[in-house]
A = this chain, B = another copy of it.
Amino acid sequence: MSDIASIPVDGPASAGLAAELAQEAGALSGLSTPALVVDGATLEANIRRMAGFGADAGVSLRPHAKTHKCAQIARRQLAAGAVGIATATVAEAEALAAEGIGDLLVTTPFMGTAVFARAVALARRGVRLSLTVDHGGQLEALTGALSPSDPVIDVLVDCDVGQRRTGVTSVGAAVGLARTIAAERRLSFAGLQGFAGQAQHLADPDERSAEATDAGRILKAISDALAGEGLAPGVITGSGTGTFAQDAAGPYSELQVGSYVFMDADYAQIVDTTGAPPPFAPSLFVLSTVVSVNRPGEVTIDAGTKSLAFNGPPPSVIVGVPAGSAYRFAGDEHGILNVPDGAPPPELGARVLVGATHCDPTVNLFSQLHVLSESGLEAWPVLARH
């Protein structure tokens, strides 16, 4: 395993944002609130750091775009050495393909005549497309969508490695599907996928490691059985920000890390056996305005459950308020900031940055990421929201 702890962490998270926020005529002052703001330097550092880890560990990265839904970030991940991009849906793949991303894996099995036709249309346009299946019915739908002149589609077998959500549930089923794929000349059996979602967020490092070990063992058993059939998987893809350091040791050849770019608070709380959190810093914030100041000790801001996903820990990193201030949700469009006793609350109209704690669904609430870096403020579209 690469010694990721030896790669230096760039300065304190959000220092650049805090400085910008303090300037009344700064770049952030021109944004309507609520707005999704990314600390560009921290984003770049997170991307660089994970890329360095993958290179040192000799494992490929296929970063998951479900986190960011953003072509500009996907391009930076590819430029840093990623072999391709993972997407959760065909719609995400379509949106990224339209932005020129050329190697895409859809990580969830899907079903339906129309959606397979859309996937095949991407391959016809020259995208190197990989799909995942966990049932023969999906292969029938896929081959039904292909015409003789279509390019060969790479297909992976999705394996249930303990999450109990999608995937084949036995070695025999995996081998059977792989054989079916290999026997179809318009398809290529590309390998295995297994996502141990049940392991990623476990706080206890030993429990997390044990779950990841079990998941890897399932994939290894399926891989060995396939090798015995002359169908050794070319790729074994999976993993996430919670278990990537362990998973790099095998059996994975490709890591689908996603959250590390923004670093969910929940992931920042999980530590390894040495007590160290993952070496990434939070980069995603919601810019908000203080809109009501009539109650002692607290103010109301214009960021609520339509701006901040609430299936994570409560937001705790808040820039622009006295230390010790706490955020709580107060409806779709509002949150309340409690200020510690004696500290001056922010004034009416003041702006604060609330750190997102569950980044994937927070990004999904906005049409744009406003990325602040040395080159200024850029708006990057969020693609393929439902």
Contacts and interface: CB of A to CB of B under 8 A. Distances in A.
A291 B135 CA distance: 9
Interface stretch (A51-59, A222-230, A247-255, A330-338): A330-338
Interface in A291-309: 291-295, 300, 302, 305-307
Contacts of A305: 311, 361
A165 B332 contact: no
A380 interface: no
B386 A300 contact: no
A110 B167 CA distance: 48
Interface string A89-100: 101000000000
A317 interface: no
Contacts of A112: 32-33, 289, 349
A89 B91 CA distance: 29
A44 B310 CA distance: 32
Contacts of A332: 66, 88, 360-361, 364
A109 B291 contact: yes
Contacts of A110: 289, 291, 302
A306 to B, nearest CB: 5
Q: Of residues A30, A91, A292, A333, which shows the largest number of chain B Cβ atoms within 10 Å of its Cβ?
A: A292
Given A33-B112, A291-B111, A165 B91 contact: no
B167 A348 contact: no
- Number of copies of this protein chain within its complex: 2
A307 B89 CA distance: 13
A162 to B, nearest CB: 12
Q: Of residues A35, A66, A118, A294, which shows the largest number of chain B Cβ atoms within 10 Å of its Cβ?
A: A294
Contact of A348 (B30, B138, B330): B138
Contact of A311 (B36, B294, B310, B334): B310
Nearest to A110: B291
A167 B289 contact: no
A145 to B, nearest CB: 13
A365 interface: yes
B167 A294 contact: yes
Contacts of A385: 365, 367, 385
Q: Of residues A293, A305, A332, A366, which shows the largest number of chain B Cβ atoms within 10 Å of its Cβ?
A: A332
A383 B111 CA distance: 29
20 contacts: A32-B114, A33-B115, A34-B386, A35-B386, A36-B386, A66-B332, A108-B334, A110-B289, A111-B289, A112-B349, A135-B348, A165-B300, A165-B331, A165-B334, A166-B291, A166-B300, A197-B331, A306-B364, A332-B360, A365-B385
Q: Pick the 4 closest A-B CB pairs, nearest first.
A: A166-B292, A111-B349, A137-B348, A366-B386
